[in-house]
Amino acid sequence: MYQQLRKSVLFFSLPLFWAGSLLSQTKSQLKYENSQVYAGIEVGSKGVKMSILEIGKNAKKTGAFNVLKDTAVNTDFISFTPTSFGATVKGFSQLYQVAVNEFAIPPSRIFTMVSSGVKMQAEKDNRVSWIGQLADSFRLRIGDPQRTVDIIDVMGEAKLSHLGIVPESRRYTTFLIDIGSGNTKGGYFPNGNTNTLRLFELTWGTKTINNATVKRCEEDNSITNYNRQLTRVLAGDPNNEIVYAVNASGAYEMSDYIAISGGIAWSVANYISPELIENSVVPVTYADVLAFSERIFKEYETLNADQIIADIKDPLLDKKIIRSELKKVNQVFDQRALMAGTGLLLKIMRQFEGIYEKKQFYLVKNGQVGWISAYVDQQINK
Amino acid sequence: MRDSKSLILLLLAIFSLVLTFVVFYYFFNETDNEKINFALPKAGLAPKDSLSVKYASLLNDLNGVPAASSIESDSANAALFTQLGALYQLKNEITAILKNTNSSTADLEIARQKITELQQRVEQLNNRNDNIELENKRLSALLSKLASNFNIPENMVSAPIAATVTAPVTKVNPEPILNSNAGVLSAYNINLKALDAENGDETNAAAETGKLVGTFVVKNNLSPFNNTEMMVVLVQPNGRVLQPSPWESGTFSTAEGKKIYSCKVKFDYRKGETKQCNFNINADQYQKGNYMLQLYHNGILVGRLVKNLG
């Protein structure tokens, strides 16, 4: 009985821990002069997510915003059961109260919305009315009947991500790609304005690549076999899909910069450039990522915080922050997951690595909150 | 009569000379004997004597170590000074035990332990000295190599860079770091201006500065460079590299390890061309003090300048 209870507690607390680890990039101090603090609370497919951002006066120009708090509560809203509905309403209103009471953010600077993933699933399951009911219950709980709860569609979310992450000066020359766990999506503005975004989508993400590789490994669980099978998986359907999707998007001709976000981009960026741990974006080359991918396979033991910090010569860098961030990466991605994600990242980058024309690649670390900064910007300029 | 007086004087002089010789001979002979007795004890040694031998050999090792008082007690030498102080204190303690004719077996055991400790400390100091010598040789070789690459006279190589960093005034166009290396470009006519945030006029006040505008000229008579990059590193008065935007900054590799750059300038270069390059740095705020601008090409420092903002 006790063991069963312990298992249940572990079962429910682990996803929360993992979500927290993956998303939390907490920084306690304000970074910019003349900045404002905003909160964005979003109901997503997996649960409710809150991001507290510091947005500087030059955020639009430089793409600089500072994530003060990033947290999530797993409620599984898209299962559309009374339990998940209740948990989502509770999580939604509790996070709102945290923003108001603990971070002293006035309601006018808190933005609440429902993500495109929820809307798509609700339409598929004929549960669109649940979204309205969720918004009403939330308003009732927080005692604010006028509170706006926007529902964002796929195109809107992709546009906002681009606007929030990429600085104004590179808006029309940057192709933004978000590598998720289950899929990859992104886009760019082809016409020199923000009216039209050309969408890009792949059905492969870090987890789907990892799953397909594990499936092929059968009884041989050695890392050598995993590497061999991963090469085969990547060379198959994912490669065909990537080549087709990149060609169809026309992004190669239209973009000078390729910015890649998602969990794998965050982890690779931290490993390759620990010196830039406080930067939201890290420039890399194809050769950098290729060398790193070989290191994961051949020298994974060197990818620990102590060893990486020992190689840093600059005495002015805050090694405490670097250590803490690298430990987080270690917790989120194990060797195989890192190999799968980096393999997919390389396949995508390869499509933009021309012999004569080389694109500048960026790994975006806080992509998951980028769109909220653009949403905030849109709302305050309305 | 006169002859007899002279003879007496002569005899007295000879006698004095012989006496002086005898006294000096006796004195020096006795000192040497003492030395020999200490350094070379006879066979069939008692415990105290064997310790004396060990101690004497250690003292020989100590001859190469400078006296604690001869080390300047500035912060850099503080650790060495402390170590030497401890070492000499240990030496005095051992001497006191060995000189004491009434020493017990327990005292001699303490002396043995102290001598072992002294031996270890002397070895540590010698090892450290060897390491420093090796490091000095390595750095000298590196400096000579750099000097030959950049055609810098030897006396300039040894001048500390820190001296230029702390210069209180703007130093426009320092000595160009010329090089005969085909693999890198030389940078000269380096200039860095601070522009007023409101009217765009040049200013030297940190509070008024809106952006920094830099220019420099590159040249190499031996090689062309297609799609090459010049890394601009602007070190702020607090020692950190100024990063105006994460989209412009990054890291690059040098012989000393990875460095952060503030921005980079990309261009194509034809062999022998005199090419003017520009860059802008827009930061939220600027600190007061000296800014050190460094230009790197292919990981090698090819130009630098100090700019002061008051």
Please indicate whether, in this complex, the C-beta atoms of A279 and B244 are within 8 angstroms of each other.
Answer: no
Range of lowest pLDDT (A222-226, A265-269, A287-291, B88-92): B88-92
Token look-up 């930067």 returns A279
Please indicate whether, in this complex, the C-beta atoms of A358 and B227 are within 8 angstroms of each other.
Answer: yes
Angle at B276 between CA B270 and CA B282, to 5 degrees: 130
**Interchain CB contacts (distance < 8 Å): A and B:** 55
Any B CB within 8 A of A316 CB: yes
Q: What SS3 class is residue A358?
A: strand
Q: How far is B269 from chain A (nearest CA, A)?
A: 16
* Chain B residue whose CA is closest to A259: B247
Residue A278: pLDDT band (50, 70, 90) is confident
Any B CB within 8 A of A287 CB: no
Q: Given a cut of 90, is residue B108 above it in pLDDT?
A: no
Q: Given a cut of 80, is residue A100 above it in pLDDT?
A: yes
pLDDT at A253 (0 to 100): 87
Instruction: Provide mean pLDDT across the span A108-118.
Output: 89
pLDDT at A308 (0 to 100): 92
Partnered with residue B283 across adjacent β-strands are: none
Q: What SS3 class is residue B309?
A: strand
| Nearest Cα to Cα of residue B226 among A355, A58, A252 | A355
Query: What is the average pLDDT score of chain B?
Result: 72
Q: Given a cut of 60, is residue A25 above it in pLDDT?
A: no
Please indicate whether, in this complex, the C-beta atoms of A167 and B250 are within 8 angstroms of each other.
Answer: no
pLDDT in tens, A342-354: 999 999 999 998 7
pLDDT at B8 (0 to 100): 77
Distance (Å, rounded) from C-alpha A163 to C-alpha A25?
21
* Chain B residue whose CA is closest to A358: B227
| Nearest Cα to Cα of residue B68 among B27, B14, B125 | B125
pTM over 0.80: no
pLDDT at B145 (0 to 100): 66
Which residues fall within 8 angstroms of residue A275, CB to CB, at 6 or more apart? A312, A314, A317, B251, B258, B260
Which residues fall within 8 angstroms of residue B20, CB to CB, at 6 or more apart? none
Q: Is A285 exposed, middle or buried (0-12, 13-18, 19+ CB in 10 A)?
A: middle
| Domains, in order of start, for chain A | 2-152 (3.30.420.40), 165-369 (3.30.420.150)
Contacts of B227 in chain A (CB under 8 A): 358
Instruction: Provide mean pLDDT across the span B99-121.
Output: 73
Please indicate whether, in this complex, the C-beta atoms of A313 and B258 are within 8 angstroms of each other.
Answer: yes
Residue A57: pLDDT band (50, 70, 90) is low
- Supply A334's token pair: 């194990």
Q: How far is A70 from chain B (nearest CA, A)?
A: 20
pLDDT at A115 (0 to 100): 85
Any B CB within 8 A of A170 CB: yes
* Chain A residue whose CA is closest to B255: A313
Task: For B67-122, give the DSSP string.
Answer: PGGGS--SGGGHHHHHHHHHHHHHHHHHHHHHH-TT--HHHHHHHHHHHHHHHHHH
Please indicate whether, in this complex, the C-beta atoms of A62 and B244 are within 8 angstroms of each other.
Answer: yes
At position A81, the amino acid (one-letter code) is T
Please indicate whether, in this complex, the C-beta atoms of B246 and A63 are within 8 angstroms of each other.
Answer: yes
Residues 62-91 of chain A with CB under 8 A from chain B are: 62-64
Q: How far is B106 from chain A (nearest CA, A)?
A: 47
Q: How far is A327 from chain B (nearest CA, A)?
A: 21
Distance (Å, rounded) from C-alpha A186 to C-alpha A352?
15
Any B CB within 8 A of A229 CB: no
Domain B162-309, CATH: 2.60.40.10
Cα distances (angstroms) measured from residue B269 to each of B274, B297, B302, B306: 9, 12, 16, 26
Contacts of B240 in chain A (CB under 8 A): 316
Please indicate whether, in this complex, the C-beta atoms of A283 and B243 are within 8 angstroms of each other.
Answer: no
Q: Given a cut of 50, is residue B172 above it in pLDDT?
A: no
pLDDT in tens, B3-58: 566 677 778 778 777 877 776 665 555 444 444 333 333 443 445 556 666 666 66
Q: Given a cut of 60, is residue B152 above it in pLDDT?
A: no
- Supply A58's token pair: 């030059």
pLDDT at B67 (0 to 100): 45
Partnered with residue A55 across adjacent β-strands are: A36, A65
Task: For A30-63, give the DSSP string.
Answer: --STT-EEEEEEEE-SSEEEEEEEEE-TTHHHH-
Residue A234: pLDDT band (50, 70, 90) is very high
Q: Given a cut of 70, is residue B198 above it in pLDDT?
A: yes
pLDDT at B25 (0 to 100): 66
Percent of chain B with pLDDT over 90: 29
Please indicate whether, in this complex, the C-beta atoms of B246 and A281 are within 8 angstroms of each other.
Answer: yes
pLDDT at A23 (0 to 100): 39
Token look-up 């090892």 returns B127
Residue A19: pLDDT band (50, 70, 90) is very low
Residue A377: pLDDT band (50, 70, 90) is confident
Query: What is the average pLDDT score of chain A?
Result: 86
Q: Given a cut of 70, is residue B138 above it in pLDDT?
A: no
Across A139-143, B115-119, B156-160, the highest mean pLDDT is recorded for A139-143
Instruction: Provide mean pLDDT across the span A56-67.
Output: 63
Across B3-12, B180-189, B217-226, the highest mean pLDDT is recorded for B217-226
Contacts of A33 in chain B (CB under 8 A): 284-285
pLDDT at B128 (0 to 100): 64
Q: Higher-confidence residue: B123 or A301?
A: A301
Q: How far is B280 from chain A (nearest CA, A)?
A: 13
Please indicate whether, in this complex, the C-beta atoms of A362 and B249 are within 8 angstroms of each other.
Answer: no
Edge-to-edge order in the sheet of strand B202-203: B202-203, B186-196, B209-219, B275-281
- Supply B275's token pair: 């090419």
Cα distances (angstroms) measured from residue B161 to each of B157, B164, B292, B305: 9, 6, 10, 11
Range of lowest pLDDT (A242-251, A332-341, B99-108): B99-108
Classify B41-141 by CATH class: mainly alpha
Q: Given a cut of 50, is residue B132 above it in pLDDT?
A: yes
Which residues fall within 8 angstroms of residue A186, CB to CB, at 6 or more apart? A158, A175, A176, A177, A178, A199, A200, A201
Contacts of A63 in chain B (CB under 8 A): 245-247
Distance (Å, rounded) from C-alpha B306 to C-alpha B288?
13
Q: Given a cut of 90, is residue A366 above it in pLDDT?
A: no
Range of lowest pLDDT (A144-153, A305-314, B78-87, B164-173): B164-173
| Nearest Cα to Cα of residue A60 among A156, A169, A197, A175 | A169
Q: How far is A356 from chain B (nearest CA, A)?
A: 10
Domain boundaries, chain B: 41-141, 162-309
Residue B71: pLDDT band (50, 70, 90) is very low
Any A CB within 8 A of B210 CB: no
Instruction: Provide mean pLDDT across the span A230-254.
Output: 93
Instruction: Provide mean pLDDT across the span A299-308.
Output: 91
